[in-house]
Amino acid sequence: MMKWDIIDIALPWRYFVVESLHAGQFPFWNPFNHLGFPQMGDPSSWYPITWLLSLFGRYTVSHIQFEYLLHLVLAAFGAYKLFLFELTNSPSTTKTKRWISLTLAICYACSGFMVSNAQHLGWVISAAWIPYCIYFFRAFLVTGKWYYAFALPTVLFMLLTGGYPGFFITCMYVLLGIFIVHLFRIRKQLAEIKSLWKLTVPAVLFILQAAVVLYCSFEMSKYINRGEDLVLDTSKWGVLFGAFPWEASISFLFPMATTTPGTVWPSDVSMLNAYFGIVSATLALGSLYLTKNNLRGILYFILGLVFLLSSYGDGFIVRALWYHILPFMDLFRFPALFRLFSLLFLLMAGVLTLDKVWNMKLPIKQVNTMFLTTGLALLFGLFYYTAVPKEAIAETPDVGSFFNTWSFNKRIVIQAISGLLFLVLSWLLIQKRQLVALALLVGLELFIYTQLNVYSTVVDAENDFKKTELALTRAPIGFPLESLYDTVRLKTDEGNKNYPYLWKNLSAFQKEISADGVSPYGLKSMAVSIERDEFTKAINHPSIYFEPEADSPNQAYQLKILSYSGNELTFEINTESNGKIVFLQNTYPNWKVEVDGEEHEIQIEASTFLATSIEVGKSKVRFYFDSNKEQKLFWVTAVSFLISIGAFLLLFFKENMLSKK
């Protein structure tokens, strides 16, 4: 079973979204974690693939692991299409272009980024869609074909909703750079310049598709602790937090060394792997040997280097410069995310190098020098760190523990030897011009190195996947009423033993309102309540409770819940005094309340909770999340999304049919 954030955060939230859809409602408000937060403000709540998976039963561990694997496949195909487009003007045969593109696409999809950041599903999703965004944008600029114009906003929407915001922002800057270069190229071609108006079509379609996401996210940013600009430091909420330390650059050649248990690296283990293959790294470096007619290759290598320096965070000045110069670069943390763009551009340089090698445009002597350079780097790494392993391999039946017994030195030795072996074999295959065999060898190399790292950052070998899966299928269906009568303070993740190997955000599965949980969307009002010592006292009550006036002699009341969903609560209450009814959900502008069919004023209890005044006697109270505007925007999003997909498919197949004729 996979581990860490993908199970603790991504799984519960996707579970809630799917359960809401099964209940026939939109996932606007999540009442279960941290006493409620606007789930609609999290872009992943609107990710189409999650909604599509809701058609296949309840969302479980199987679904989220399938999502991870699916996006690896999508990443491979997207990189393949992008690399193939890079070779459009190459004299190579179509078959050769395809095998070259496939070889380097495998390196992208199985790179260290995909393995080390497996717990960050949004990062993997971003990596899957970014190649499509670049490919469709460039293809539309170059060819002007309309089906690219309809595909572009769709993949941008997938990146926005499924991915981490930092990737989307950076990708938009990459597209802007591509546009500027294209504009420079056509600066003397008036007809081409006039045709740029066509870009308004994908731009408008994207804005329409993103309507509900952008509105909900920007609205939520006003009320959460993370809505403001981040500071330029390495603190938990600083933009330099979560960097790819320069020491971890060793992972380009020795990826397994960065996961050695007990080794101290100045970052999280998820941020330490930048491996993308011995052969592909050699080819990327080889772009520097091609000084003639290889401006693109050199440019891609330089861009890869710039993004790599950006990923170092406080280890180099580039990330700080972007923070001060470029808009929106102060809104996200984790400089390590830039290493994805570094890998992608280095691979694009490698594609051009391999194509030129295959077309004999790079002398054999330079090809030999290229491979010799990588071989010397492996040998230098081997002798610099250690030449002899110092610890023996412990014998144990557990594969995960077996790899964990390898010392840092042993990992260096093993990977140096295997790396040299793969390097020599790939050199021989290039000499003999065996492209298919080279692709298979590269695939084998990435598969082996992936398996050597998988137990460190992807899979928890000790967890019994079947037990967790069974527990999730037995979780309460819908929005049960019974738990609303229980004291909220007692509903904790630690006290919930119903879901083996899961330990955070369990209230989403149990459908219980809880003050516990892990979320990046902490509301400011809740923080104020905690700071004023009002919070703890309030949660010593059930989810709904009556608070009589201070001088009331009779505090008795009877309460009956009539209906409940994440976005609405209706109940009857019979009191013997005036007072107020408190609903332990965090305040948010969309919340409204009706008493006996008439709208009442929302009051704030303990600085954050919903409340309203009621008079003595019997009353029918309805708290509801007013989502009229959000629902209208959703339909704008849905219709424009379907129009874009429909137009793309229609024009694409029409083009193919005409080309066949």
320-351 tens-digit pLDDT: 999 999 999 999 999 999 999 999 999 999 99
* Residue ending a domain, choose from 428, 457, 486: 457
Average pLDDT rounded to a whole number, residues 34-51? 97
Give per-residue pLDDT as tens, 279-289. 999 999 999 88
What pLDDT is stored for residue 263 in this prediction?
60
pLDDT of 6 over the 50 cut:
yes
Confidence band of 391 (pLDDT split at 50, 70, 90): very low
Instruction: Kindly state whether residue 649 falls inside one of the protein's structural domains.
Output: no
Q: Are residues 199 and 132 in the same domain?
A: yes
Confidence band of 17 (pLDDT split at 50, 70, 90): very high
What pLDDT is stored for residue 168 in this prediction?
99
Cα–Cα distances (Å) from 7 to 2, 3, 166, 170, 649, in that order, read 7, 6, 21, 27, 35
Cα–Cα distances (Å) from 170 to 489, 581, 640, in that order, read 42, 47, 24
Instruction: Kindly state whether residue 311 falls inside one of the protein's structural domains.
Output: yes
Separation between Cα atoms, residue 474 and residue 498, nearest integer Å: 10
3-state DSSP assignment of residue 469: helix
DSSP state of 73: H
Separation between Cα atoms, residue 379 and residue 22, nearest integer Å: 57
Place of tokens 């003595």: 616
Q: Are residues 45 and 171 in the same domain?
A: no
Instruction: Kindly state whether residue 657 falls inside one of the protein's structural domains.
Output: no
What pLDDT is stored for residue 267 in this prediction?
84
Give per-residue pLDDT as tens, 136-185. 999 999 999 999 999 999 999 999 999 999 999 999 999 999 999 999 99
pLDDT of 403 over the 90 cut:
no
Q: What secondary structure, in 3-state letters, does 445-456 show?
A: HHHHHHHHHHHH
Q: Quote the radius of gyration of the chain (alpha carbons, Å).
A: 28
Number of domain units in the chain? 3
CATH number of the domain at 596, please.
Answer: 2.60.220
pLDDT of 398 over the 60 cut:
no
Angle between helices 338-358 and 61-86 in degrees, nearest 10 = 40
pLDDT of 394 over the 60 cut:
no
Average pLDDT rounded to a whole number, residues 525-538? 96
Confidence band of 119 (pLDDT split at 50, 70, 90): very high
Question: For residue 444, what are the domain limits?
Answer: 60-457
Average pLDDT rounded to a whole number, residues 464-485? 92
Confidence band of 404 (pLDDT split at 50, 70, 90): low
Confidence band of 360 (pLDDT split at 50, 70, 90): confident
DSSP state of 545: E
Q: Are residues 441 and 471 in the same domain?
A: no
* Residue ending a domain, choose from 457, 481, 503: 457
Angle between helices 338-358 and 94-109 in degrees, nearest 10 = 150
Q: Are residues 53 and 75 in the same domain?
A: no
What pLDDT is stored for residue 384 in this prediction?
83
What pLDDT is stored for residue 397 in this prediction?
35
Q: Are residues 589 and 481 in the same domain?
A: no
What pLDDT is stored for residue 264 in this prediction?
59
Q: Are residues 408 and 493 in the same domain?
A: no
Instruction: Kindly state whether residue 654 falls inside one of the protein's structural domains.
Output: no
Average pLDDT rounded to a whole number, residues 291-303? 90
Instruction: Kindly state whether residue 531 falls inside one of the protein's structural domains.
Output: no
Separation between Cα atoms, residue 386 and residue 407, nearest integer Å: 11
Confidence band of 565 (pLDDT split at 50, 70, 90): very high
Separation between Cα atoms, residue 547 and residue 609, nearest integer Å: 13
What pLDDT is stored for residue 551 in this prediction?
78
What pLDDT is stored for residue 389 in this prediction?
47
What pLDDT is stored for residue 385 in this prediction?
75
Q: Are residues 281 and 420 in the same domain?
A: yes
Q: Are residues 359 and 429 in the same domain?
A: yes
> 418 is written with which tokens?
């295997």
Q: Are residues 593 and 504 in the same domain?
A: no
What pLDDT is stored for residue 334 in this prediction?
97
With a pLDDT cut of 70, the percent of the chain lying above it is: 96
Please tell me the least confidently modeled range out of 220-234, 517-531, 569-583. 220-234
Question: How crowded is the C-beta side of 554, counted as CA atoms within 13 Å?
Answer: 10
pLDDT of 247 over the 60 cut:
yes
Confidence band of 227 (pLDDT split at 50, 70, 90): low
Confidence band of 660 (pLDDT split at 50, 70, 90): low
Instruction: Kindly state whether residue 528 falls inside one of the protein's structural domains.
Output: no
Confidence band of 388 (pLDDT split at 50, 70, 90): very low
Cα–Cα distances (Å) from 548 to 524, 554, 618, in that order, read 27, 8, 14
pLDDT of 261 over the 80 cut:
no
Exposure string for 422-448, b = 16+ CB within 10 A, e = fewer: bbebbbebbeeeebeebbebbbebbee
Give per-residue pLDDT as tens, 191-215. 999 999 999 999 999 999 999 999 9
Please tell me the least confidently modeled range out of 192-201, 251-260, 556-565. 251-260
Q: Alpha helix (H) ranges present in 312-337?
A: 318-325
Please tell me the least confidently modeled range out of 286-300, 321-335, 476-490, 509-523. 286-300
With a threshold of 0.85, does the pTM exceed it? yes
Which residues on adjacent β-strands are paired with residue 582? Answer: 545, 611
Instruction: Kindly state whether residue 645 falls inside one of the protein's structural domains.
Output: no
Q: Are residues 374 and 493 in the same domain?
A: no
DSSP letters for 382-417? HHHH-SS--SPPPP-S-HHHHHHT--HHHHHHHHHH
Instruction: Kindly state whether residue 340 falls inside one of the protein's structural domains.
Output: yes
pLDDT of 458 over the 70 cut:
yes
Do the Cβ atoms of 449 and 275 come closer than 8 Å?
yes
Confidence band of 223 (pLDDT split at 50, 70, 90): very high
Q: Are residues 46 and 171 in the same domain?
A: no
Give 509's contacts (C-beta < 8 A, 6+ positions apart): 12, 15, 471, 472, 475, 498, 499, 502
Do the Cβ atoms of 142 and 82 come closer than 8 Å?
no
Helix (H) / strand (E) containing 571 = strand 568-575
Separation between Cα atoms, residue 36 and residue 87, nearest integer Å: 51
Cα–Cα distances (Å) from 229 to 39, 174, 232, 327, 456, in that order, read 21, 22, 10, 11, 33
pLDDT of 401 over the 60 cut:
no
What pLDDT is stored for residue 265 in this prediction?
72
Q: Are residues 151 and 192 in the same domain?
A: yes
pLDDT of 409 over the 60 cut:
yes
